[in-house]
Amino acid sequence: MINDLYTDNSCPTGYTGRKGGCMINPNFRKRLLDERCVETRKYRYIIAQECEHVVIERLPVELIGTTKAIDSWEIVEVLY
């Protein structure tokens, strides 16, 4: 598990990239790009394609395997 997910220690637990603020730690981003799917204690992160953009999305671990997981993915960062 990765403890230093965000580069700024002041990031709240419920951080979303759309609200601005912290950036994902570059080491975590590189690991995610290499593995395509990384699971932490609270979230599963994936690389996904949204229209013409490649994004990092996350889903709370407790929703994995439920029907709510279908539409509960949250965009954390747009890569390009």
Calpha distance 48→13 (Å, rounded): 22
The residue among 25 and 2 whose pLDDT is bigger is: 25
Task: Name, in order, each residue with C-beta under 8 angstroms of 5's C-beta and a sequence gap of 6 or more.
Answer: 24, 25, 28, 40
Domain region containing 44:
17-78
Contact 29, 7 (CB under 8 A): no
Provide the whole-model pTM: 0.71
Is 73 within the bounds of a domain? yes
Structure confidence at residue 25 (pLDDT): 87
What is the tens place of the pLDDT at every residue in 9-50? 444 344 444 445 467 888 999 999 999 999 999 999 999 998
Which contiguous run of DSSP H or E holds residue 77? strand 74-78
Is 70 within the bounds of a domain? yes
Q: How many structural domains does the chain have? A: 1
